[in-house]
Structure 1
Amino acid sequence: MIIWRGFGALVVLVVLICVGGLQWLASTIVGPEATTQIQRFLIPIGLVIAAVIVWPLGRFFNKPTTTFDPRTGRQVTVSRGHSLFFINMEYWSPILLVLAVVFLIAGFFVRI
């Protein structure tokens, strides 16, 4: 079960598009036979690309806005919460980078 709030589900969508798109692009360019040989590098590269995209998206969507409350006469800062599994979108970027390193290291030890 995926738990998200606001646009937090975009993290999953961006990761799927980046990793899947990179694999599709590689199989189109070098062919399906050669893609299995470079498979260990495609997932980490796709995760790094997704991390680069998710950080500014999260910063943009979770940017606090300052409004004027007419009842109290004060300025109120409202922070929107766009999260996936209770983690704000922008904090998924370092998590994706760590996952990329894990997949890269695992790629050297596991034969496909």
Structure 2
Amino acid sequence: MIIWSGRGIFSILVLLLSVALFMSVLGNAYLQYAFSLSFFVAGVFSWVMGRKWNSDEGKTLVDKKTGQEFSVKPHHSIFWIKMQYWGPVFIILGLLVMFLMGQE
């Protein structure tokens, strides 16, 4: 089960779509490259778009009954971790896949 908030699911979707694309283009002979490239693409996407989407200052709302102001900020995450922090994780996973599968 994948738990996300906001647009965080797009990181997983980009990863899955890029795996499908690279597997169809590169085939089984270059399996390690297909997975590594997919992790790199998902990592760059997560970092760039996560920083953009989570950097919004949000909205300040006023409670009509109490007059108290509070701020609502966007939160785009996967498994309670902000989307941009998945970028380096995906890139590290891509490097691990490249080097570990390359030794076989």
TM-score over 0.5 (shorter chain): yes
- Identify unmatched segments of 5+ residues in structure 2: none
Provide TM-score, normalisation by structure 1. Answer: 0.76
Q: CA RMSD in A?
A: 1.9
Report % sequence identity. Answer: 26
Q: Secondary structure at the match of 1:37?
A: helix
Identify if the C-alpha distance between structure 1 residues 67 and 82 changes in structure 2 by more than 3 Å, giving closer, same or farther.
Answer: closer
State the 1:77 CA deviation: 5.3
Q: Which residue in 2 is equivalent to 1:104?
A: 98
Residue identity matched to 2:36: P
Identify if the C-alpha distance between structure 1 residues 69 and 93 changes in structure 2 by more than 3 Å, giving closer, same or farther.
Answer: same
Identify if the C-alpha distance between structure 1 residues 66 and 25 changes in structure 2 by more than 3 Å, giving closer, same or farther.
Answer: same
Provide TM-score, normalisation by structure 2. Answer: 0.81
Q: Is 2:50 aligned against 1:58?
A: yes
CA contact (8 A) 1:64 1:78 kept: no
Identify if the C-alpha distance between structure 1 residues 60 and 39 changes in structure 2 by more than 3 Å, giving closer, same or farther.
Answer: same
Identify if the C-alpha distance between structure 1 residues 25 and 59 changes in structure 2 by more than 3 Å, giving closer, same or farther.
Answer: same
Q: Secondary structure at the match of 1:18?
A: helix
CA contact (8 A) 2:39 2:90 kept: yes
Distance 1:12 1:66 in 2: 24
CA contact (8 A) 1:62 1:82 kept: yes
Identify if the C-alpha distance between structure 1 residues 68 and 2 changes in structure 2 by more than 3 Å, giving closer, same or farther.
Answer: closer
Task: Report 1:67-78 matches (<5 A).
Answer: 67-68=59-60, 71=67, 78=72
Distance 1:66 1:101 in 2: 35
Q: Deviations over 1:74-111 (max 9, x none)?
A: 7x65421111001101110000011001101111223x
Which residue among 35, 38, 42 is the counterpart of 2:30?
Answer: 38
Q: Which residue in 2 is equivalent to 1:32?
A: none
Distance 1:81 1:54 in 2: 13
| Residues paired across the two proteins, number | 100
- Identify unmatched segments of 5+ residues in structure 1: 27-34
